[in-house]
């Protein structure tokens, strides 16, 4: 019997903290050796001239989820996770929503059934749209089962929670050691602007950006930070798009608050000009918050470099543009506010970050690993099983060809959405091999991802998101005690 099931030979192992030329030995789905030279395996993969990095952790993607803005998700767990694997990602965290007025447990059981078709490992955030007594009383059990992150929306009529509901969600999260993730935009301001724009006859996709300018995002980010500070609740702010929102986060982090934040590839490459395109083209870039300007794009890179924005996720939200149940669920000529929000991006996430980040010299390789894998693994309690190529970690690995130039086209991708917003864009750097718990699922253009291979990752409590125990007054509002 061979000592290893698989050896990755001759590559450069890159982790978030370091980089070393070494062979990687894998047995029973885990990394068991990293050394100058290994031998004795059933299979070897030659990685010379390539980077051997932890598989991507995409902690924000919408798969088989009822939509917030109309339309039906184009992807299934099978197609979504297959395309993620082809893009170098080996773990995802997606969303099980509560419907307003209902409990969450039945939805969650159903969601677990659907996810059994996943080709890579997965975990769930629980979306709380209505923190009723019934939901608040079921959450301790559900968090205890390993659904250790909640999500709340500050906008979208079907999802939006107000400030008192936010405090209630923070209370249950803090009492049960869960992280809260947040879609931060000012709902009333968006509704007001939308009504005004529509009344003025301004209905095209370009006005999506006008109804939600950066100030709307900045205000909500400021407010959610204040509420989190009041409750001493760690949060992650989703999809930061603009300098002023990132600056609020930087200031909060500098005060020592546990405020974490992500951005997404679409905010590095799409701009509001992409919304101002004729026919269906504008809808292909329509997502929330809205794409901004090149100035904001370069600001986002500088907030990545300084560590303010620690994670880049896809926010994969797949809606077809050519079928009546997708983006255009409200009809071909629907106004901007009735077009499903979101862009597909599981497969292109890591290549875009590599190409726009590493290949252009904006970030180094370690930062690439940190923002696409290690930091999300740490933040969501998956580390060091995920997010690192180290002895004892799951053998979730991507082998990267930094030189390979690929022009993105819909026919090259493996998702089930009928378009990509990045059609025709040439990227430098592409994953050539993806390995999930020791199983090669993507290699040299061939997919061998097996539906059902992916396992649910239950997340136990972890120190990274422990509250600080610091409140604005000597009173802990969660326990009701003096501190
Ligand atoms: O436009 C987006 N991001 N759609 C998905 C739902 C959300 O807002 O996260
Ligand atoms: Zn969102
Ligand atoms: Zn999202």
Our answer on whether the CB atom of 315 is closer than 6 Å to any ligand 1 atom is: yes
Of 183, 212, 264, 338, the residue with max ligand 1 atoms within 8 A of its CB, to mutate for a pocket test, comes to: 183
Cα(420)–Cα(281) distance, integer angstroms: 11
Amino acid 69: pLDDT = 79
- Can you tell me whether residue 240 is helix, strand or coil? coil
**Strand, coil or helix: 93:** strand
The pLDDT value recorded for residue 102 is 93
Name the 3-class secondary structure at 273: helix
pLDDT of residue 456: 98
What pLDDT is stored for residue 280 in this prediction? 86
pLDDT at 314: 98
What pLDDT score was predicted for residue 70?
Answer: 83
Asked whether 241 lines ligand 1 (CB < 6 A), one says: no
Instruction: Give the helix/strand (H/E) hosting 175.
Output: helix 163-175
Q: Which residue's C-alpha comes closest to atom 8 of ligand 1?
A: 288
349 lines ligand 1 (CB under 6 A): no
The candidate with the shortest Cα–Cα distance to 318, out of 414, 223, 226, 253, is: 414
> Taking the chain (483 residues) in consecutive chunks of 10 residues, what is each chunk's mean pLDDT?
96 98 98 98 98 99 87 94 98 96 95 98 98 97 98 96 98 98 98 98 98 98 98 98 98 98 99 94 98 98 98 98 95 96 98 98 98 99 98 99 98 98 98 98 97 98 97 96 93
Q: For residue 476, report the distance from its CA to the centre of ligand 3, in Å.
A: 32
What is the 60 CA–ligand 3 centroid distance (Å)? 6
Structure confidence at residue 67 (pLDDT)? 79
Ligand 2 mean position to 151 CA, how many Å? Answer: 9
Name the phi and psi angles at 319, rounded to 5. -130, 130
Ligand index nearest the alpha carbon of residue 67: 1
Q: What pLDDT is attached to residue 279? A: 78
Ligand 1: does its nearest atom lie under 6 Å from the Cβ of 287?
Answer: yes
Please choose from 154, 265, 317 the residue to mutate so as to test ligand 1's pocket, defined by most ligand atoms within 8 A of CB.
317
Q: How far is the CA of 341 from the centre of ligand 2 (A)?
A: 9
C-alpha 126 chain-centroid distance: 14
Q: What distance in Å separates the CA atoms of residue 321 and residue 349, rounded to the nearest whole number?
A: 20
Place of tokens 């980089």: 19
Q: Is 211 in the pocket of ligand 1 (CB under 6 A)?
A: no
Q: For residue 294, report the distance from its CA to the centre of ligand 1, in Å.
A: 21
Ligand 2 center from residue 416 Cα (angstroms): 21
Residue 240: count other Cβ atoms within 10 Å of its Cβ: 26
Assess whether the C-beta atom of 82 lies below 6 angstroms from ligand 1.
no
Please, which residues bridge with residue 178 across strands?
A: none
Residue whose Cα lies nearest atom 2 of ligand 1: it is: 342
* Contacts of 1 by beta carbon, 8 Å cutoff, 6+ apart: none
Q: How far is CA 472 from CA 7, 167, 178, 456, in A?
A: 53, 15, 21, 38
pTM score, whole prediction: 0.98
Give the closest ligand to the alpha carbon of residue 68. Answer: 1
Q: Which atom of ligand 1 is nearest to the CA of 156?
A: 8
Report which ligand 1 atom has the smallest distance to the Cα of 287: 1
d(CA 28, CA 287): 41
What pLDDT sits at residue 462? 98
Q: Is the CB of 342 under 6 A from ligand 1?
A: yes
Ligand number with the minimum distance to the CA of 61:
3
């Amino acid at each position: 019997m061979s000592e290893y099931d698989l050896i990755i030979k001759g590559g450069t192992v890159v982790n978030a903290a370091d980089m070393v030329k070494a062979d990687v030995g894998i047995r029973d789905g885990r990394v068991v050796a990293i050394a100058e030279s290994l031998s004795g395996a059933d299979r070897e993969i030659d990685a010379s001239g390539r980077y051997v990095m932890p598989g991507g952790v995409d902690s924000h993607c919408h798969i088989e989820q009822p939509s917030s803005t109309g339309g039906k998700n184009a992807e299934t767990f099978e197609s979504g996770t297959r395309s993620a694997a082809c893009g170098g990602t080996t773990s995802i965290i997606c969303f099980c929503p509560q419907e307003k007025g209902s409990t969450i447990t039945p939805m969650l059981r159903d969601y677990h059934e659907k996810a059994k078709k996943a080709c890579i490992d997965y975990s769930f955030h629980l979306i709380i749209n209505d923190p009723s007594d019934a939901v608040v009383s079921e959450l301790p059990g559900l968090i205890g089962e390993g659904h250790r992150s909640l999500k709340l929306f500050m906008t979208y009529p079907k999802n939006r929670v107000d400030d008192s509901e936010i405090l209630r969600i923070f209370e249950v999260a803090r009492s049960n050691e869960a992280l809260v993730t947040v879609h931060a935009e000012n709902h009333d301001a968006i509704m007001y602007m939308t009504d005004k724009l529509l009344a003025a006859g301004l209905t095209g996709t370009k006005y999506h950006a006008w109804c939600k300018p950066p100030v709307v995002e900045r205000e909500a980010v400021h407010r959610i930070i204040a509420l989190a500070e009041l409750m001493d609740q760690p949060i992650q702010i989703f999809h930061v798009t603009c300098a002023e929102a990132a600056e609020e986060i930087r200031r909060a982090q500098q005060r020592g608050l546990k405020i974490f934040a992500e951005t997404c590839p679409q905010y590095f490459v799409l701009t509001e000009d992409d919304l101002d395109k004729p026919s269906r083209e504008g809808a292909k870039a329509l997502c929330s918050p809205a794409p901004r300007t090149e100035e904001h794009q370069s600001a986002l890179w500088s907030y990545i470099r300084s560590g303010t924005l620690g994670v880049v996720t896809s926010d994969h939200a797949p809606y077809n543009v050519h079928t009546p149940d997708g983006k255009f669920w409200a009809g071909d000529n629907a106004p901007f506010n009735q077009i499903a929000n979101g862009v597909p991006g599981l497969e292109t996430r890591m290549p875009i970050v590599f190409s726009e980040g590493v290949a252009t010299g904006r970030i180094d390789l370690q930062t690439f690993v940190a923002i696409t894998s290690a930091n999300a693994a740490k933040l969501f309690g998956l580390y060091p099983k995920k997010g690192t190529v180290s002895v004892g970690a799951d053998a979730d690995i991507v082998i990267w060809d930094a030189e390979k130039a690929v022009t993105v086209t819909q026919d090259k991708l493996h998702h089930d959405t009928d378009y990509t917003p990045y059609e025709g864009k040439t990227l430098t750097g592409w994953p050539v091999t993806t390995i999930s718990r020791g199983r090669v699922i993507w290699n040299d253009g061939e997919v061998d991802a097996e539906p059902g291979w992916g396992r649910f990752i239950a997340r136990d409590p972890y120190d990274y998101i422990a509250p600080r125990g610091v409140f604005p007054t000597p009173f802990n509002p969660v326990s009701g005690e003096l501190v």
